[in-house]
A and B are shown apart, each in its own frame.
Chain A
């Protein structure tokens, strides 16, 4: 109740109705029944709730929302519209002073120490919270290895002694940002692109898709191409990431088809990139950097086929809804031209002989979340985390009793095995 007296002291002397409402209405989250009772009230009271954003704290410990991506970590508090920050998922090793990516861990023990160092910096430098007894929501990808999840839970409970943990599936949490209950969520991040269709609030797990397509493979292409041109310049991943973000784009399907042919279109202008040694980024590289995401691999798969293959694996009565509710998230999906290229690829592909027989879909529709795609999943968590859901929280007591993350969290693993059996 400390914060309430603080609020009270803030508006000393000019006690408005609104302030009154707040001070009187919101006990700490320990009595969710009370909040529910308030919400059962009239329209007016709910409206007031919304008007005074910024003071919407129910408990002394704000819920912390973390989306630890393979390249960037998005962090902030539940109920806020913007993450407090986005930082690289890497940490300077205290012994070797080497900068290391968390996901490039060697083994469980290495990961344990990396996570301790990384989360320590995250809690005290960025999120700014005492981790002990904190309530934390973690967004996790469908493909997160059990080793990673278990180690993360162990670090959070055993080392940082957090109070409770809620693990939320990235794709599922994301649809909270739309106010709809069906969507086909495609996440194109750094290491991979993952997709799960969600129909009426339930994920259709057997239709999940994943390919190693994302920022990393684009970086590899750029590094290779630029090293060929500038063998004497130190081409680092950080450098190519900056070049990618500032100069590269996804070209149109039309131009892409002609790129390697005799009547290739005139490339976009080259860009002078300043640095210790100024380099010139040829127009061809700017245009071709993202082509790797659209080229078919040996199994004839690429980003657009993920969407179509997922829809085919869903029940017939759900297909149209899903095709008309596509949501793109992840940093790579923010690239200029990405969405329009995806749309034209889809429209061309459905007409191809491979898909025209199986799919009777003509239109694809795309959602825009009230956020930038690179933190949409975080926002879903922030909306979700503002709701009191004790059933979905793993408490410290329960964790310490069983010393593991319960089975229901690992459900997706079991489902995945089942679906791979179906496919083969």
Chain B
């Protein structure tokens, strides 16, 4: 699979306009359309800790503020900390205390946190050792939590008063964005609202004391002009931002932070709302419960070789096609300006009826009428930025590719298929793969040194058998689907 890391020489155009290699696109069997990471709906599927690999249900994730309770990261370099065991140093009894002579102390095992990368330890930071390996590490709380909760409760009261008033007066703020009527609610109104109408002098516990401004501000420490500064003892901004409520300046005051959980995402087709990719719940597993990668449904195209390219001169290009499906397919290459409407071939027991299915183009697959769904939000398609700068002579023949047969991979007895291939067109075939020859002519105006690679584009029409309809007790559909491809075939060598 080394080609996965290569630059994308062969790009498929998704229905949203994105150009992606086949390894990065999906094929929605329900819509019979290509989808990609850009145009699918992505959802958080499960949460897991990247260090201990524990899976957490979303309710718990919320309570733990998306952090793993067992794993910590280094406050200095953000690597995962490891728990180290140590022994409490034996207390040396004072020499004159006689009773202490016979006391045998067994060293007690204690635990501390340590970073194997930058050597930070919880002992350096002055955090007491713990007697249990699993933790009990002191948690830092925002020192203002109580005050903030009081403010939140107060704003809730204000909002409910505002609501009541607006209901009474049938009042709607003229400019809700800039006017916040609730800030004009007086304390008397609040008292009345929460049930202390007669005692205006009593301090209500629910109304937070308003913040008091002061003429005093934090002064610049005078020793800043004389004291030398040791940069390594001052935290970086990055370290400070790990603990936004503390933002300490002193390296020794940094505290270990709980490791943040990561998520596994699932992908859903935005048009039909079916899952395209859903990871297995178990975080260690790389398997997927549902995986509709285009890799399993759409013929794959690879560049085999290309003759040296010269402006205005025809060169031979060899392309390898591979049919990944369990059904025979036929591939036809067409010019880029071909209309993209798929052709639906309904398979009847008696005869095949060919008809154009124009409805498919309008992104509303009525192939699945039984599903009631909300109207999808439509996003504009992205304009295609790549421009083909070479002409292709399109072959008249269509290429038939047999179904994938895993057993045949190990069978050297030769092909049992007997295709009447034109040897000028199909130059090699084995199993579900075949190599074809195309003639390409780079445009005259491309020069050798302008670093613009030669790009060709074509529409690949392929026969697709949709077995999803068999689930609905219908005969499988045969569709002639189309996808646009752009291939970067090389650079110009020499001039015309």
Residues of A in contact with B (beta carbons under 8 Å apart): 2-3, 6-7, 10, 32, 35-36, 39-40, 42-43, 46-47, 49-50, 53-55, 57, 62, 72, 74, 79-87, 116, 120, 124-125, 128-132, 157-159, 161, 167, 169, 172, 175-181, 198, 200-203, 205, 241-242, 245-247, 249-252, 255, 265-269, 271-274, 324-326, 334, 336-337, 339-343, 363-372, 374-375, 379, 383-384, 386-389, 391-392, 396, 400, 408-409, 411-412, 415
Contact = CB atoms under 8 A, between A and B. Distances in A.
A342 B247 CA distance: 22
20 contacts: A39-B156, A46-B157, A47-B206, A53-B149, A85-B244, A87-B241, A167-B177, A177-B151, A179-B208, A181-B184, A201-B179, A245-B237, A249-B220, A269-B229, A274-B231, A339-B218, A364-B215, A367-B213, A387-B155, A391-B172
B177 A169 contact: yes
B265 interface: yes
B172 A386 contact: no
Given A176-B155, A179-B154, A132 B41 contact: yes
Contacts of A367: 211-213
A124 B263 contact: yes
Contacts of B208: 179
B62 interface: yes
Given A169-B177, A178-B210, A339-B217, A386 B193 contact: no
B42, B150, B177, B209: most-surrounded residue (chain A CB, <10 A):
B177
Contact of B183 (A32, A200, A255, A363): A200
B225 interface: yes
A246 B177 contact: no
B59 to A, nearest CB: 4
Contacts of B413: none
A309 to B, nearest CB: 20
A36 B163 contact: yes
Contacts of A415: 178
B322 to A, nearest CB: 27
B144 interface: yes
Nearest to B141: A81
Contacts of A255: 225
Contacts of B142: 81-82
A20 B19 CA distance: 54
B279 to A, nearest CB: 13
Given A36-B160, A200-B183, A6 B236 contact: no
B215 A383 contact: no
B228 interface: yes
B218 A340 contact: yes
SS class, residues of chain A in contact with chain B: mixed
Contacts of A324: 213
Nearest to A391: B176
Interface string B124-164: 00000000000000000010111111111111111110011
A132, A343, A364: most-surrounded residue (chain B CB, <10 A):
A132
Contacts of A268: 224-226
B57 A273 contact: no
B336 interface: no
B232 interface: yes
A39 B44 contact: no
A117 B262 CA distance: 18
B178 A411 contact: yes
B306 interface: no
Interface string B233-269: 0111100110011010000000000001111010000
Contacts of A132: 41, 43
B187 to A, nearest CB: 10
Contacts of A200: 183-184
Given A50-B146, A343-B217, A367-B213, 5 more contacts: A86-B241, A269-B227, A273-B231, A372-B247, A411-B177
A371 B214 contact: no
B358 interface: no
Contact of A158 (B145, B180, B214, B379): B379
A197 B208 CA distance: 22
B220 A81 contact: no
Nearest to A343: B217
Contact of B265 (A80, A124, A370, A408): A124
A400 B377 contact: yes
B217 to A, nearest CB: 4
A401 to B, nearest CB: 12
A139 B247 CA distance: 22
Contacts of A334: 247
Interface in B97-149: 142, 144-149
B160 to A, nearest CB: 4
Contacts of A54: 63
Contacts of A408: 175-177
B66 interface: yes
Contacts of A72: 241
Contacts of A131: 42
B77 interface: no
Contacts of A53: 145, 149
B237 A79 contact: no
B482 to A, nearest CB: 26
B145 A81 contact: yes
Contacts of B41: 132, 161
B264 to A, nearest CB: 10
A85, A246, A249, A409: most-surrounded residue (chain B CB, <10 A):
A246
Interface in B194-216: 194-195, 204-206, 208-215
A346 B236 CA distance: 31
B47 interface: yes
